[in-house]
Amino acid sequence: MSGEDTGPEALLEVYGTALPAVYGFVVRRCPDRRVAEDVTSETFLAAMDSVRRDADLTPTVPWLLGVARHKLADHWRRAQRTPEPMPDVPDPPGEDLAEVHLDRMIAHHTLAQLTPIHRSVLTLRYVDDLPVAECAEIMGRTVGATEALLTRAKRAFRAAYPGQPARSTRKGGRA
């Protein structure tokens, strides 16, 4: 795409490159391939609406990934469930691969036990590595409410993590 292409034509030009990137992004966060395909379609439909409204908009793959992130959040809110949040991350060099794999499986299992809203906020913050303010925007919450939610989600994760002793995190002996 030449740096000056804008509007619907520009979206069509970037489509071939962007489709695998957007679908890959969505399918790693959504275990049901049909839902991943639907969210990917919604992403491109929303992108087309945007470039039709703003003819000066130049669509790029990163911009489309941002649209996909918002469409995923919309899906999670509508469905009151979240995707399996563990993407394929390369193994750190020098670590025991069996232990790393086991840690991932335990974390994945622990996340699956959490409420959808807790899984969502932990996924956005720690898997997608988004700042709290962006998590708040995606989830339709204030930053303060998102920070409080993140605190509760981390507490719930620690409590559900196998082999962790139950411990009090508040005064008065209640977790």
Q: Where exactly are the structural domains of the chain?
A: 1-85, 97-162
Phi, psi dihedrals of residue 104, rounded to the nearest 5°: -65, -45
pLDDT at 146: 92
For residue 131, what is the DSSP state?
-
pLDDT at 24: 87
Confidence of residue 4 (pLDDT cuts 50, 70, 90): low
pTM: 0.47
Span of 77-86, 114-123, 145-154 with lowest mean pLDDT: 77-86
CATH number of 97-162: 1.10.10.10
Question: For residues 93 and 113, which has the higher predicted lDDT (pLDDT)?
Answer: 113
Confidence of residue 167 (pLDDT cuts 50, 70, 90): low
CATH number of 1-85: 1.10.1740
Query: Tokens 């991350």 — which residue?
Result: 89
| b/e per residue 27-38 (b: at least 16 CB within 10 A) | bbbbeeeebbee
Q: Each residue of 49-101: pLDDT tens digit?
A: 888 888 788 889 999 999 999 898 888 777 654 445 555 555 556 556 677 66
Evaluate if residue 171 carries a pLDDT over 60. Answer: no
Mean pLDDT to the nearest integer, 34-54: 89
